[in-house]
Chains A and B, each alone.
Chain A
Amino acid sequence: MRDSQTNSSAVAEKPEGWNRPALIKPSGDGELLEVAMGPHHPSTHGVFRMDLALDGERVIRLRPVFGYLHRNHEKIAEGVSYLASMPYTDRLDYICPITNNWAYALAVEKLTGQEVPERAEYLRVILGELTRFQNHASSIGFLIQEMGASGTPLMYAFREREKILDLFEKLTGARMMVNYMRFGGCRVDASPAWLDATRKVVAGLPEFVNEFDRLLGSNEILMARTQGVGVLKADLAVNAGVTGPMLRGSGVNYDIRKVDGYGIYNRFNFRVPLGDHGDVYDRFIVRMLEMRESITILEQALKDIPRGPVMDPKAKLRGFRPKPGEAYGRIEGPKGELGFYLISDGGPNPYRYRIRPPSLINLTVLEDMCLGHDVADVVLIFGSVDIVLGEVDR
């Protein structure tokens, strides 16, 4: 068993099973070209490598290689107090730091049974949905950029993202590394001026989505490049633990905001968009529609937000020692199910601190989706998974 650590090449045989990709027989004389795509390939959004075996242009085998950004965040978190890991969670998926904060705070609150005040719940929803909006916008922008539309669609998305990051900066003091949530609430309250500014930004978002949709949704090149590419069947998606827009793009109705109703999501009226074919185009459309649903939630939350404290007054920040036990808390992050599993032995540090990274687990089916496609499509399929390497490698 230990000998299997050797760095086998992409051409090495992999056993087949019902839930494993069917191997493709090479044509002609069977001579394959091995290509190491990455770790510095511009489409990999960071440092990530795919070892491809190509038969002409066709992908015969694909092996993802991880670990270039491995910091062992889980080990670091075992050595510090519960609160000290909060700023570090910003650095996991650095596109959506708020939802990382939220998932961690939720897991600790499950462990200790702390209550979150009403206003803090609303602020969490507002910031979480803004995060989801800017994540989906920029992930679509990156997808189109990788298709060859150099710059323009991405800059459209980044223009909106910048407005949202300005709001984050006004509220938390940082554009990305927000360190905003606490166990039992949020760090600072939002001023009425901030809420008004947010209402103004949210009022402008539908126009952006309409424009984005008009420009991209029926674009001939986009349809030709993405429809029928990277198909993921629903049963494999569930079995492989794929979550988020990728799972819903395959037509599986599973949104943790609806299933668990964590926080106060039960109070909001929103729909779960589903794809049909599970290809790159469906994932793109699902993200587009989720942006519209986020706007619906934001409008409701900004209308209903009550007055009150944003921190549980009994919440303890220093000398925080949860009773022995364990808890798994999960949220519907923009990229999929983001979970934290914590084990407490009664001490000030977690005994075990585990992150369930949606980016890593969604990549399980990367090979299945890419086999048989051209090497140029690998870039698109990979882009449609929507990963951030800070979360994949932790």
Chain B
Amino acid sequence: MKKVEEIKAAIEAAVPGAAVEIVSNPSVSGQHSLRLAPESAVAVASFLRDDPELALDFLSNVTGIDWPDKVTAERVKVKRQVVKTVDGVEQTVEETVEETRQRLDPGCLEAVYHLYSVAKKHGPVILRMRTQDRADHVDLPSLTPVWRSAEFQEREIFDLYGIAFTGHPDLRRLLMWPEFKDHPMRKDYREPDDFEYEPTAHDEVLKRAEEHRAGTAVHADAECGQ
């Protein structure tokens, strides 16, 4: 079994322009992974499957991960011009002050693929891909055309995380029902009070009753000036 560095070199030699980055895993499991740029992911995946030496013909597991926006407070040293009175004379002095700043790491959604080889009996080789953000740019290329076993697993990630896999032949929700709106596995998901809420013809009446109770309703009789 090749090391991740060797696999990275093999990919870069075989697929021109493929951006591959090694993500090291600090745990004792030692399962390091490769982060692929979404643009070249399908070409890299096909290479990994068809290369006679790697022969990663078996995609075992596809996982979705949510990385929300992270705000961290950090202490920064800043130089400032301060006017001070030194020995009775007003002077402008440069001072170094420590400040607390909020640093925002934008979040993303990630898909992780665990590959093994049935022919060579080795593995795992771990691939990762990240979306640009968590709201509007949540597209990743689907690897289902390369490994069919991603079909249901990518559908599950689309369902529970909201990653839109382009090129997937049948991208529908897998576990939640089709009318469901949100993505329950996201870290910021809040479950609704009533899962079976459906708008009814009486919603308007209920809204007016609510206004009436709160005393904010404009009464018809008030308009008549009585």
Q: Give me the interface of A with B, judged by CB distance under 8 Å.
A: 1-2, 4-8, 14-15, 17, 19-20, 66-67, 70, 72, 74-75, 110-113, 236, 238-242, 252, 254, 259, 322-328, 330, 337, 339, 341, 343-344, 352, 354, 356, 360-361, 363-365, 393
Contacts and interface: CB of A to CB of B under 8 A. Distances in A.
B172 A19 contact: no
27 contacts: A5-B172, A7-B178, A14-B170, A20-B169, A70-B175, A75-B184, A110-B28, A110-B29, A111-B28, A111-B29, A112-B28, A238-B57, A238-B118, A239-B147, A241-B147, A254-B58, A259-B121, A322-B27, A324-B27, A328-B124, A337-B60, A339-B60, A339-B114, A356-B114, A361-B152, A361-B153, A393-B175
Nearest to A15: B169
A66 B177 CA distance: 9
A19 B49 CA distance: 14
Contact of B26 (A74, A325, A354, A393): A325
Contact of A354 (B63, B164, B177, B178): B63
A327 B29 contact: yes
A330 B170 CA distance: 28
Contacts of B29: 110-111, 113, 325-328
Which of B57, B58, B65, B185 is packed against the most chain A CB atoms within 10 Å? B58
Nearest to B110: A352
B177 A67 contact: yes
B132 interface: no
B166 interface: yes
Contact of B184 (A72, A112, A328): A72
A19 B148 contact: yes
Given A239-B147, A364-B152, 17 more contacts: A1-B139, A2-B164, A4-B172, A5-B172, A66-B175, A241-B149, A241-B150, A325-B27, A326-B29, A327-B29, A328-B31, A328-B61, A339-B114, A341-B61, A356-B114, A361-B149, A364-B151
A8 B121 contact: no
The 3 closest A-B pairs by CB, nearest first: A325-B27, A241-B149, A113-B28
Given A5-B172, A70-B175, A323 B27 contact: yes
B48 to A, nearest CB: 13
Contact of B148 (A241, A327, A341, A344): A241
Interface in B73-113: 112
B22 interface: no
Contacts of A356: 60-61, 114
A240 B118 contact: no
B57 A324 contact: no
Contacts of A113: 28-29
A326 B169 contact: no
Contacts of A327: 27, 29, 31
A111 B26 CA distance: 10
The binding surface of chain A is classed by DSSP as mixed
Nearest to B66: A352
B217 interface: no
B176 interface: yes
Contacts of B57: 238-239
Nearest to B23: A326
Contact of B185 (A8, A75, A112): A75
B61 A354 contact: yes
A330 B174 contact: no
B65 A352 contact: yes
Contacts of A67: 173-177
B169 A17 contact: yes
A66 B112 CA distance: 23
A344 B118 CA distance: 29
Contacts of A252: 118
A322 B27 CA distance: 9
A40 to B, nearest CB: 17
A252 B119 CA distance: 9
Given A4-B172, A20-B148, A361-B149, A74 B185 contact: yes
B17 interface: no
A330 B28 contact: no
Contacts of B152: 66, 360-361, 363-364
B54 to A, nearest CB: 15
Given A14-B169, A239-B149, A363-B152, A344 B175 contact: no
Nearest to B145: A17
B11 interface: no
A326 B176 contact: no
A367 B95 CA distance: 73
Contacts of B149: 239-242, 361, 364
A328 B25 CA distance: 12
B149 to A, nearest CB: 2
B4 interface: no
